[in-house]
């Protein structure tokens, strides 16, 4: 089955009327994607291993071939109303790359595997790269069991519905190197007029919850000067985050709010806002969050409210293996593939932080839009990505 045929099969699963995707982990759509992947692996006679958390590695291991394997793959879950390419492009391309290597008559000297990690986006349980961090041991099963989704469902209960549960894993024990292909989430390749790029590293980033507490009151009878309105504090903090990120050349987004009691005719008693912050290095990230926190505290004092800041998920900077990156980027007929940093988190980052030599390939995104129904990659570039991944796997295991 060709890349185009696989892509057409997967495309309808979890797609909403908006054109976006709702493939949250351990929901029907994400599990249907998972079942599709298992069927695709069976059709290729790949040997499938699944850990207790639901992460999967499917190995192409010709007879007599052993040693540390070369792993590729990505994830199949999405953000809410997300795009088609973030994650699935890497999974489908990995299967197509194995098909292409077989067509070329390549017999690998090392096993080649395709991985699918669960809950990479953190869109349901708020912890990005959850599956890959469980698989590497960076997140403990006990810590994972403390996670709940916005509806109050515990992660362990959501997993249990599918015969799974947070667990330690040896799924990556036989992995010697990991290469993840991903749609670019930016316009660097467009600016360079290149279809394929190689990641040099990932900015440090994280998520912080800002809880603003005030006093509920009547929207009509309460004078403006008598209010302790946490929405004012939250609103000014959102504007402060935008300003500080621009001043520091960083990224800051508050894209999620929860308001209590969330009534049109009531001053709220509480507002929770989640900050996504990213910067070029750890000191810059710390300075960014500290500046936003300080402005929130100052505004809270003026408004008669309180602000509490809690870090929920913080990932350090990732520097991908320089020798591996250089090896994959160099000596192509169209010239060396460009190197570029990324501000987005990936499973590749979790594996790199665990000490596994890791690299990433990016496929051009014509608009740079991601985490949106408008996310896109041209089919010609997708096929170039398949060829680039096959070439990379052949270099590493051919």
| Three-state SS letters, the chain | CCHHHHHHHHCCCCECCCCCECCCCCCHHHHHHHHHHHHHHHHCCCEEEECCCCCEEEEECCCCCCCCEEEEEEECCCCCCECCCCCHHHHHHHHHHHHHHHHCCCCCCCCEEEEEECCCCCCCCCCCCHHHHHHHCCCCHHHHCCCECCCCCEHHHHHHCCCCCCCCCCCCCCEEEEEEEEECCCCHHHHHCCCEEEEEEECCEEEEEEEEECCCEECCCCCHHHCCCHHHHHHHHHHHHHHHHHHHCCEEEEEEEEEECCCCCEECCEEEEEEEEECCCHHHHHHHHHHHHHHHHHHHHHHCCEEEEEEEEEECCEECCHHHHHHHHCCCCCCCCCEEEECCCCHHHHHHHCCCCEEEEEECCCCCCCCCCCCCCCHHHHHHHHHHHHHHHHHHHC
Among 295, 315, 335, the domain-final residue is: 315
Whether residue 80 is found in the same domain as residue 156: yes
Q: Are residues 17 and 166 in the same domain?
A: yes
Residues 22 and 87 in one domain: yes
CATH of the domain at 268: 3.30.70.360
Q: What is the pLDDT of residue 338?
A: 96
The reply to whether 271 and 339 lie within a common domain is: no
> How confident is the model at residue 126, as a pLDDT?
87
Q: Are 82 and 152 part of one and the same domain?
A: yes
Residues lower than pLDDT 70 in the chain: none
Mark whether 71 and 171 lie in a shared domain: yes
Same domain? For 258 and 392 the reply is no
What CATH number did the domain enclosing 334 receive? 3.40.630.10
Whether residue 179 is found in the same domain as residue 238: no
User: How many domains does the structure of the chain reveal?
Assistant: 2
Residue 14 and residue 129 in one domain = yes
Position 398 scores a pLDDT of 78
Residue at which a domain ends, from 315, 333, 366: 315
Asked if residue 44 and residue 108 are part of one domain, the reply reads yes
The answer to whether residues 292 and 353 belong to one domain is no
Determine the structural domain holding residue 367 and report its residue range: 3-203+317-397
16 and 147 in a single domain? The answer is: yes
Last residue of a domain, one of 261, 287, 315: 315
| pLDDT at res. 96 | 98
């Amino acid at each position: 089955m060709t890349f185009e045929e696989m892509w057409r099969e997967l495309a309808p699963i979890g797609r909403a009327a908006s054109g976006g995707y709702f493939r949250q982990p351990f929901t029907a759509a994400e599990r249907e994607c998972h079942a599709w992947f298992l069927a695709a692996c069976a059709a290729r006679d790949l040997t499938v291993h699944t850990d207790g958390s639901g992460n999967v590695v499917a190995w192409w291991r010709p007879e007599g071939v052993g040693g540390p394997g070369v792993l590729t793959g990505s994830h199949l879950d999405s953000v809410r109303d997300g795009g088609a390419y973030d994650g699935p492009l890497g999974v489908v391309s990995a299967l197509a790359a194995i098909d292409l290597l077989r067509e070329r008559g390549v017999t690998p000297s090392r096993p080649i595997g395709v991985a699918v990690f669960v809950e990479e986006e953190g869109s349901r349980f708020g912890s990005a790269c959850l599956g890959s961090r469980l698989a590497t041991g960076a997140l403990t099963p006990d810590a994972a069991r403390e996670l709940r989704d916005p509806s109050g469902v515990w992660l362990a209960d959501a997993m249990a519905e599918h015969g799974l549960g947070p667990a330690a894993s040896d799924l990556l024990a036989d992995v010697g190197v990991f290469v993840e292909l991903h749609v670019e989430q930016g316009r660097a390749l467009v600016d360079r007029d290149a279809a394929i790029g190689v990641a040099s590293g990932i900015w440090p980033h994280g998520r912080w919850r800002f809880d603003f507490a005030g006093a509920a009151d009547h929207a009509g009878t309460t004078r403006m000067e008598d209010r302790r309105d946490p929405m004012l504090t939250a609103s000014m903090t959102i504007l402060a985050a935008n300003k500080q990120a621009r001043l520091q050349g960083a990224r800051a987004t508050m894209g999620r709010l929860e308001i209590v009691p969330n009534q049109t005719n009531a001053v709220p008693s509480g507002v929770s806002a989640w900050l996504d912050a990213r910067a070029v290095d750890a000191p810059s990230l710390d300075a960014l969050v500290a500046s936003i926190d300080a402005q929130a505290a100052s505004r809270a004092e003026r408004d008669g409210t309180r602000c509490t800041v809690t870090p929920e998920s913080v990932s350090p900077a990732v520097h991908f293996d320089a020798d591996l990156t250089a090896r994959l980027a160099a000596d192509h007929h169209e010239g060396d593939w460009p190197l570029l940093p990324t501000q987005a988190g990936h499973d590749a980052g979790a594996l790199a932080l665990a000490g596994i030599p890791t690299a990433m390939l990016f496929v051009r995104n014509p608009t740079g839009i991601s985490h949106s129904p408008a996310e896109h990659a041209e089919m010609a570039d997708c096929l170039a990505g398949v060829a680039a991944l096959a070439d990379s796997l052949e270099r590493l295991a051919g």
